[in-house]
Each structure stands twice: as C-alpha cells, then as structure tokens.
Amino acid sequence: MSLDALTADLRAFAAERGWEKFHRPKNLAMALAGEVGELVAELQWLTPEECESLTDAQRDAVGAEMADVLMYLTRLADVLGVDLETATRAKMARNAGRFPVPGPGEEASVVPVQA
Amino acid sequence: MSLDALTADLRAFAAERGWEKFHRPKNLAMALAGEVGELVAELQWLTPEECESLTDAQRDAVGAEMADVLMYLTRLADVLGVDLETATRAKMARNAGRFPVPGPGEEASVVPVQA
Amino acid sequence: MSLDALTADLRAFAAERGWEKFHRPKNLAMALAGEVGELVAELQWLTPEECESLTDAQRDAVGAEMADVLMYLTRLADVLGVDLETATRAKMARNAGRFPVPGPGEEASVVPVQA
Amino acid sequence: MSLDALTADLRAFAAERGWEKFHRPKNLAMALAGEVGELVAELQWLTPEECESLTDAQRDAVGAEMADVLMYLTRLADVLGVDLETATRAKMARNAGRFPVPGPGEEASVVPVQA
C-alpha cells in the first residue's frame, strides 16, 4: 500500500462526509492518541510470551487498532502538509548516525550515541 | 512510499544493530505511545489557528515525530505478524458502513450509525 | 497530599503566570497525553525484571514524569469542573461490581463480568 | 481525598482479586496510556467552546476516564515505590524556577526559561 494512495482515499472519504471541520490538526492529534491508547490496551494484560503467540482473534483486534492509528496519522499529515515519506526517510538517515551498527563484540544498545 | 519497503528497511536496521531483543511487542507498543505523546506535545499549546499555519520549523518538528510514530507502528505490525495494508483496507470498508455519506441537507456527523 | 490542596496550588501557579489562556481543556488533555508518553518512554526498553528493580536514578526519572501526569490531570479536572475525588470513589464502587472477588479455587481475571 | 488513602484502597482491591500478577509496572504504564487515550477521545471532536460548556453527561463521562487515569497512576506509583506526593512537590518547586512569574508588561509564556 502506498501512503499517497491511502492519503487520497482518506481525503475523499472525509470530504464526502463533510468531515473537514472535524479533521483539524489538534482534533486529529487527539484522535491519534486515543487510537494508540486502544492499541496499547489490547496488549496491556498479556505477558510478553502471550504477545509472541497471539490468537487470530487477538491479532485481528490489534490490527484493527493499528489501522485506525495509521489512518489518523496519514490524515493528520495531509491536513498539516507534512510529507510523511520524506520525513520518515530523513529520520531513518538521522537514526543511522545516532545508532551506529555495533562492531564485533559490542553490545546492542537502544541508547543513541549522539543527539 | 510503500509500507512493505519501509517494513523491510526497518527490519534490516534492527537486525544490523541486534535490536530484536528490544523490539518485542509490548516494548514497541509503549514506544509508539511515547512517540505519539511527543507528537501531541508539539501542538498542545498552539491555538487551532496557529496549527493551520505552522512555520517550516514547526512543520519539520511535527514531521519528525510523525515519522517516529510511523516507524514504530510499522515495526510493531511486522513483529506481530499484522498485515497493515489488509487491516487498513478492511477498516475503511467497515467505516463506510458505520459512517454513511450524508444525504442532501443532512449534517455531517462523526458519530457512527452502527457498531 | 490532598487533591484539593494540589488543585488550589496549581490554580494559583497558573494564575500568577497568566496561563489560563493556555490551560484550556483540549490543550490540557493533550499535555496529559504528552506526559504519559514521557512516563511510558522511561520503561519501554526495560525488561519486566528490570522494572521491578529500578535504580534510584530511574525511579526519580519515572517519579518526575508521574508528577507531571498528576499535575495535568488535576489541572484539567479543575478547569472542566470535574470533582476527581467523587468520580474516583464512584468508579471504584462500580468496579467492585464489575470485578467481584473470586471465590475459592477461582482464577484471578482482569476481564470484567458485567458492563 | 488523600493519595495515601487511595493507594491503600487500590492495593487492597487488587490483592483481594489476585491481581498482583497483572499489576506489574509495564502493564500498569500501558493501562495508564490506554485510559488517557479514552479520556482524550471524549474531547477530541468537541470545539474549544464546547469543551468550556460540557453537558452533565459529558462531564460525567470525562470524569470516569479521569478516575481511571488517577487509579492507574496511583497503583503504578505504589508498585514502583514512587512517592507521588514528594515527586509532585519537588517538580512544582523545579517548575517555579523554570517558569518565573512574569514582570509587569511581560507576556505569559509556557516556554521554560531554563532546563
């Protein structure tokens, strides 16, 4: 799925329903936070082991919340004029500098080495 | 940008750095919540009007947080075995039923008409 | 610490700084989401075992974020006219019905038995 | 309401139901994020003006979510050994330095003047 296609579909979906007045930046950011809350809630009581072996029903439920997160993120990017692809590629490039590949014998770390 | 390409790049990035032990489902869900928090924080004190006219610096800052959200979402989907494209298309189809297009004279509503 | 005392102190703190225009409900709700994100981020890469044995530095860092969450929650309640004590006691009473104490031999469950 | 009393009640409530195995730090942090998501969702589509004039039903709904946030925050503090009162008073003292009271003619700002 291309983000551009999803962006266009979500824009049309909102336009057909007169949702532009609701789809303002702060509202969409709040909706995004709400949906991430729903996603996290699907996993909160599971053990780490249970999370590695979700049932189909559990996976579908989590997937539905992940879809909501992706849709609000994409819609917010569109409304704010953020090019999500460019921003993501730029952040990955920056991360490559902040998190160099460990050398032989070096331990994996999620702590960045530079700002 | 295709989600499949991003998924592959993030998987390789994590593998090169030995991050698989950190990139477990609950950790990634928590990281996602953390990044959405950072995104929301970029807008929290702005008025609705200021949000409609972000400066380039503000847009870049929000874009960087949105990139982090997208990356953790994509990585979590990969680790959980969720097909994000399929889940998103399915949710959009379901939403079309929950939120019918208003008829002439009907008011826009973000309240679903069916579960 | 009584919530009433904290509420009064936060109200005065905001008033002295002319913050009432920033401390509007949607802004405060967003700030709360941002701070919970910072709190979650303090624990996200730790194992469950590491979380049970935080260093003093880790505990202080988490405590500082928890303080921010409490302050925004309390401030938001004040601005919205929500009596947090009454609401909490009411919710606990409701929870007692939704989550009855298990009988002998019954397994602990975090799944509610009634709406 | 004193936080100490709430802490004791929540500890007893959990103990009676055998919830200690579920009430581990990462789980509680995730539950907190989930509840803040539910709280934010109550306000996300309202205009700033509608938020200033909530109906009783809306206020009750928001209050119930705020109660859930307070309960999980308090429970998490207890499980982590964080003294929430001490942490909050310390953070308020630090904020007094970061956000000095503006002088005559100075504009209100939510931007801290020092780290």
pLDDT tens, residue by residue, B1-43: 899 999 999 999 999 999 999 999 999 999 999 999 999 999 9
Mean pLDDT value across residues C64-84: 98
Q: How far is A48 from chain C (nearest CA, A)?
A: 9
Per-residue pLDDT at A67: 98
Contact of B45 with chain D, judged by CB distance below 8 Å, is answered with yes
Q: What is the dihedral of CA C67, C70, C74, C76, to 10 degrees?
A: 100
Give the pLDDT band of residue D115 (cuts 50, 70, 90): very low
Quick check: is C110 in a domain?
no
Give the pLDDT band of residue A1 (cuts 50, 70, 90): confident
Task: Give dist(CA C94, CA C115) in Å, integer.
Answer: 9
- The vertex-C93 CA angle with C90 and C96, nearest 5°, equals 150
Give the phi and the psi of residue C17 in degrees, each rounded to 5. Answer: -105, 5
3-state DSSP call for residue C40?
helix
Q: H or E element: which one contains C29?
A: helix C25-43
As given in the structure block, the two tokens for residue B77 are: 């989907």
Model confidence pLDDT, tens digit, residues D53-79: 999 999 999 999 999 999 999 999 999
Per-residue pLDDT at B66: 98
Which chains share 3+ C-beta pairs under 8 angstroms with B?
A, C, D
Residues 6+ positions from B90 with CB-CB distance below 8 Å:
A64, A67
Residues 6+ positions from C48 with CB-CB distance below 8 Å:
A48, D24, D25, D26
Identify the closest residue of chain B to D27 by CA–CA distance: B26
Quick check: is A111 in a domain?
no
Model confidence pLDDT, tens digit, residues C17-59: 999 999 999 999 999 999 999 999 999 999 999 999 999 999 9
Give the pLDDT band of residue A64 (cuts 50, 70, 90): very high
As given in the structure block, the two tokens for residue B6 are: 């991003």
3-state DSSP call for residue C45?
coil
Q: How far is B42 from chain D (nearest CA, A)?
A: 12
Short-list D70, D60, D5, CA closest to D35: D70
Which of A62, A68, A88 is nearest residue B70 as measured by Cβ atoms? Answer: A88
Task: Give dist(CA A71, CA A46) in Å, integer.
Answer: 26
Identify the closest residue of chain B to C36 by CA–CA distance: B37
If one counts every other C-beta atom within 10 angstroms of the C-beta of residue A54, the result is 20
Q: Tell me whether residues B96 and A13 touch, CB distance under 8 A.
A: yes
Q: Tell me whether residues C110 and A45 touch, CB distance under 8 A.
A: yes
Per-residue pLDDT at B114: 58
Q: Tell me whether residues A44 and D38 touch, CB distance under 8 A.
A: no
Contact of C40 with chain D, judged by CB distance below 8 Å, is answered with yes
Quick check: is B107 in a domain?
no
Contact of A64 with chain B, judged by CB distance below 8 Å, is answered with yes
Chain D residues 75-104 with CB within 8 Å of chain C: 76-77, 80-92, 95-96, 99, 101-102
Quick check: is A98 in a domain?
no
User: In the block, which residue shows the tokens 């009584």?
Assistant: C2
Per-residue pLDDT at C105: 85
Task: Give dist(CA A28, CA A72) in Å, integer.
Answer: 6
String of DSSP letters for B31-55 = HHHHHHHHHHHHHTTS-HHHHHT--
Domain total of chain C: 1
**Domain range holding C37?**
3-79
As given in the structure block, the two tokens for residue B27 are: 């950790």
**CATH number of A8's domain:** 1.10.287.1080
Contact of D112 with chain A, judged by CB distance below 8 Å, is answered with no
Quick check: is C61 in a domain?
yes
Residue D36: its chain A contacts at CB < 8 A? 33, 37
Per-residue pLDDT at B115: 47
Quick check: is C97 in a domain?
no
Q: Tell me whether residues D43 and C29 touch, CB distance under 8 A.
A: yes
* DSSP H helical ranges for chain D: 3-16, 25-43, 48-52, 56-80, 84-98
Phi-psi region of D65 (alpha: psi -120 to 50; beta: other; left: phi over 0): alpha
Mutate to test the interface with A, among B62, B74, B94 (most CBs of A within 10 A): B62
Q: How far is D103 from chain A (nearest CA, A)?
A: 31
Contact of B63 with chain C, judged by CB distance below 8 Å, is answered with no
Residue B35: its chain D contacts at CB < 8 A? none
Contact of C12 with chain D, judged by CB distance below 8 Å, is answered with no
> What's the predicted TM-score (pTM) here?
0.96
**Contact predicate A20/A14, CB 8 Å:** yes
Amino acid, res. D100 = P
Amino acid, res. B22 = F
Mutate to test the interface with D, among A40, A43, A65, A76 (most CBs of D within 10 A): A40
In the predicted structure, residue C1 carries a pLDDT above the cut 90: no
Which chains share 3+ C-beta pairs under 8 angstroms with D?
A, B, C
Task: Give dist(CA D64, CA B99) in Å, integer.
Answer: 27
Mean pLDDT value across residues C75-84: 98
Q: Tell me whether residues C26 and A30 touch, CB distance under 8 A.
A: yes
Per-residue pLDDT at C74: 98
Residues 6+ positions from B5 with CB-CB distance below 8 Å:
none
The fraction of chain D above a pLDDT of 70, given in percent, is: 97
Rg from Cα positions in chain A: 18
Residue A110: its chain C contacts at CB < 8 A? 45
